[in-house]
């Protein structure tokens, strides 16, 4: 990983939504703010635009306001100020088309997995009772829980509970899926399964809004992302545009740092920085092989040469000047 000198400041990436709602967005928020009674501002003037059909990663360290935002979108918490729109519909008509997983699974421990899904299906006034059994069987099969359908929830493992929660989110035909930390508590195998499931759901045209504090996870499965920090939006846009804000750097390992730095400078590379045993510079439009050839041609002993592309973590560090809290 490379150190980034980008100054913390103006967010880059796509611009926040500018007034008009085009109808192409699954979720739009404008100046969405939540201040809890204690005075703590959980979400601060959030302008979010989630395009339909995208897999949207909602990123931020723990406590950055992701879950509060999701709770507002689902009508569980009322905003202090600002507006939001889900699927461009009034809340009561939008929510039946939204499947949600909020802050981990919660079910009735004394009921079986199947009976639990029946309970939540009964709560949805638009869900037809006639097809309930079929839809429940289908969503249980989709998450691989068919065999445990009759087992009491109390006896489910952590991974099974998480999968049951995803099954509940898939009970009806959904246009939007909101998944809050869907891989929390899952083993690597379970994490891979969830990722595959998200891709499969997105392939059907469903918009997936997935919050996570794991940057690498979002990079792997999302097309778009927004980054939160202490309740404020730091950046949003496509993954490519977010990464594109930071440039790739070339790193040369060499004992002759001074010579290497000079060569890189004459090649026209910007921001050349020699440091003990290595030199780094912005790659720009240069091909790594020509850089290598030039270095060798000038007699610089090249021990290693690598191109370091910025990750979302670098983006975050670059924007906030802080490390991303990865524990929890």
Long-range contacts of 144-153 (CB under 8 A, 24+ apart): 144/193, 145/113, 148/113, 149/112, 149/113, 149/114, 150/112, 150/113, 150/114, 151/112, 151/113, 152/109, 152/110, 152/111, 152/112, 153/107, 153/108, 153/109, 153/110, 153/111, 153/112, 153/113, 153/116
Q: Rule CB under 8 A: is residue 168 a binding residue for other proteins?
A: yes
Report the site for other proteins in 258-297 (rule: CB under 8 A): none
Q: From the CB of 143, what's the least distance to other proteins, in Å?
A: 11
Number of residues that bind other proteins (CB under 8 A): 48
User: If 0-12 CB within 10 Å is exposed, 13-18 middle and 19+ buried, where does residue 266 land?
Assistant: exposed
Q: Based on CB atoms, which residue is closest to other proteins, 31 or 104?
A: 104
Q: Based on CB atoms, which residue is closest to other proteins, 2 or 67?
A: 67
User: If 0-12 CB within 10 Å is exposed, 13-18 middle and 19+ buried, where does residue 194 land?
Assistant: buried
Could you tell me the CA-to-CA distances from 138 to 115, 170, 172, 179, 243 in Å, in that order? 14, 9, 10, 19, 38
Of the candidates 187, 200, 271, 322, which one interacts with other proteins according to CB under 8 A? 200
Q: Give the single-character DSSP code of 37.
A: T
CA 42 to chain centroid, in Å, comes to 19
Q: From the CB of 8, what's the least distance to other proteins, in Å?
A: 31
Q: From the CB of 93, what's the least distance to other proteins, in Å?
A: 10
Q: Rule CB under 8 A: is residue 14 a binding residue for other proteins?
A: no
Q: Rule CB under 8 A: is residue 131 a binding residue for other proteins?
A: yes
Q: Rule CB under 8 A: is residue 209 a binding residue for other proteins?
A: no
Q: Based on CB atoms, which residue is closest to other proteins, 17 or 53?
A: 53
Cα–Cα dist 269/282, whole Å: 6
For residue 298, what are its two tokens? 């000038």
Q: Rule CB under 8 A: is residue 23 a binding residue for other proteins?
A: no
Report the site for other proteins in 55-74 (rule: CB under 8 A): 71, 74
Report the site for other proteins in 66-125 (rule: CB under 8 A): 71, 74-78, 91-92, 95-98, 100, 102-104, 106-111, 118-125
Q: Based on CB atoms, which residue is closest to other proteins, 83 or 287?
A: 83
Q: Binding residues for other proteins, per CB under 8 A?
A: 36, 71, 74-78, 91-92, 95-98, 100, 102-104, 106-111, 118-131, 138, 141-142, 168, 173, 175, 200, 203-206
């Amino acid at each position: 990983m490379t150190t980034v000198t980008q100054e913390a400041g103006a967010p880059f990436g796509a611009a926040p939504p500018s007034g008009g709602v085009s109808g192409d967005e699954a979720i739009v928020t404008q100046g969405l703010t939540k201040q809890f009674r204690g005075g703590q501002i959980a979400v601060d003037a959030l302008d979010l635009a989630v395009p339909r059909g995208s897999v949207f990663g909602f990123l931020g360290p723990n406590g950055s306001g992701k879950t509060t935002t999701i709770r507002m979108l689902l009508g569980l918490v009322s905003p202090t100020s600002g507006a939001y729109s889900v699927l461009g519909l009034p809340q009561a008509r939008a929510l039946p088309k939204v499947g949600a997983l909020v802050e981990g699974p919660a079910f009735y421990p004394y009921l079986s997995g199947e009976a639990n899904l029946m309970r939540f299906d009964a709560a949805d006034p638009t869900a037809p009772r006639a097809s309930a059994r079929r839809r429940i069987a289908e969503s249980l099969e989709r998450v691989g829980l068919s065999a445990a359908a009759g087992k009491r929830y109390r006896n489910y493992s952590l991974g099974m509970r998480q999968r049951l929660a995803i099954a509940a989110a898939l009970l009806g035909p959904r246009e939007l899926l909101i998944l809050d930390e869907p891989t929390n508590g899952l083993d690597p195998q379970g994490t891979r399964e969830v990722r595959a499931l998200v891709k499969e759901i997105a392939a059907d045209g469903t918009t997936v809004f997935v919050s996570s504090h794991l940057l690498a996870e979002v990079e792997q499965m999302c097309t778009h992302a927004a980054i939160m920090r202490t309740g404020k939006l730091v950046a949003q846009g496509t993954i490519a545009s977010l990464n594109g804000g930071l440039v790739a750097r070339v790193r040369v390992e060499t004992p002759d740092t001074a010579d290497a730095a000079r060569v890189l400078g004459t090649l026209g590379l910007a921001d050349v920085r020699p440091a003990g045993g290595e030199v780094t510079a912005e790659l720009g439009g240069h091909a790594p092989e020509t850089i290598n050839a030039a270095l060798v041609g000038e007699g610089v002993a090249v021990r290693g040469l690598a191109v370091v592309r910025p990750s979302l973590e670098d983006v975050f560090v670059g924007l906030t000047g802080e490390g991303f809290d990865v524990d929890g």
